[in-house]
Amino acid sequence: MRFKHALTLLAGVMLFLTGGMAAVAQSDLNGWTLTGLNMRTGPGPNYAIIEPLPVKTGLIFEARNSDITWLLAQTEDQRFRGWISTAYIAYKKGFDPSKLPISNEIIGGEAPKPVVLDRAYEAVDMAKGADLILARAEAIDLTNYPIVPRWFGQVKALYERGQAMGRNPKVITKVGDCNSVEWLFLTPFSAKGYNLGGYGTLQPVIAQFSDSFDDHSYAAHVGLNVMAVLDPIWADPSVCEPGESPLACEYRVKNPSMAVIMFGTNDMVVLTYSQFDFYLRQAVNQTIQAGIVPILSTFPRHLAFPDRSILYNQIVVRVALDYNIPLINLWLALEPLPSHGIGGDSFHLNGPLTRAGDLTEPNLQTGYPMRNLVTLQGLDQVWREVTGRQF
């Protein structure tokens, strides 16, 4: 499969769905830059640059544009005031940018200069930011994060917003690579014949979502990486609209309320760690903006690149923490299994011994049955959290 290489581009939003007080301009900081960012006169890459801000610049936020992709801010020293693209902005805990008032203010009143771009993103120098991304990821100990999510952030509020937008409460979608597109993943639970063994409490969540378990996903392909899922060149032209990415296409066509997102296996081969971090944040942000609950998953060890697998999984955890969204730690679940649940090609999940929908031993000593189990458990936890269902 062809992979498209490009400069690291800046356009996602690092959103915390944390609740709390309405945010206004105030003396204490609301956040800071995670890389070098251009402050502009208006909310868009075509507006004039006021000042290039270095990494770790403290910011006080005043307002936002309608889709929260740009924030009106002033710097910590109050020397500069203007609009900041919200990619690679970290927010102080408890700060919710969606609470900011919407503004159309243009600093200096100047209209944007027309610029022809082949992407609606802005290229930036990631040299310093990449060091910070690496340091934040490497601080993550993968063994410290549970297999089944125990924190949920503001997913209930996100789910309710999605319901108000008309998202289907009975549909989830799969976003990822070969380990997500394979029919062995969740599809066996869309029909009779599966065996829950000692996990009978999962039957209600299966009944809720089973009709969507066997749906073909336009955002899950063999060889797909997280950059490609955001690029219209990889979209199915028979279904997707012109200029629509595979991810946006899947969300429009399937109208899910939740998305299980797992990337990393292909990404570690074709993307730098800073690119992986950036595009994964874009995918999460677009999911949030669409009113869909993202459930991130760490990915299996690549037997040929074990150390690189750890780093890219650390990035997955870091993104889940930054966005305060549920995480399924599949990596941790697979580590004790023979060959870490991986087949002879070093990166595809192995199994099953019987059927992928058989959640009994020794079948759970293989990759696909174990992924099915922890994914159903994670989905069950999130579903109960957002709907208030009791165990």
Judge whether residue 134 has pLDDT over 90. no
State in words which class domain 142-387 has. Answer: alpha beta
Does pLDDT of 15 surpass 60?
Answer: no
pTM: 0.70
Split at pLDDT 50, 70, 90, the class of 55 is confident
Per residue in 217-234, pLDDT (tens digit) is: 999 999 999 999 999 999
pLDDT at position 328: 98
For residue 123, report the phi and psi dihedrals to the nearest 5 degrees. -75, 140
How many beta carbons lie within 10 A of that of residue 51, not counting itself?
15
Residue 236 has pLDDT above 90, yes or no: yes
pLDDT tens-place string over residues 70-116: 899 999 888 899 998 876 688 887 788 888 999 989 998 554 444 33
More confident site: 128 or 367: 367
pLDDT on residue 340: 94
CA distance 327 to 23: 27
Architecture of domain 9-125: Roll (2.30)
pLDDT of 9 above 70: no
Domain boundaries, the chain: 9-125, 142-387
Question: Mean pLDDT lowest for which of 37-46, 193-202, 282-291?
Answer: 37-46
pLDDT in tens, 264-300: 999 999 999 999 999 999 999 999 989 999 999 999 9
Is there a common fold for 9-125 and 142-387? no
Does residue 1 register a pLDDT over 50? Answer: no
pLDDT of residue 153: 79
Q: Quick one: pLDDT at residue 23?
A: 35
3-state secondary structure of 146: coil
Selection from 179, 268, 275, 249 nearest residue 221 by Cα: 179
For residues 136-160, average pLDDT: 90
Q: What is the mean pLDDT of the chain?
A: 85
Three-class DSSP labels, 211-251: HHHCCCCCCECCCCCCCHHHCHHHCCCCCCCCCCCHHHHHH
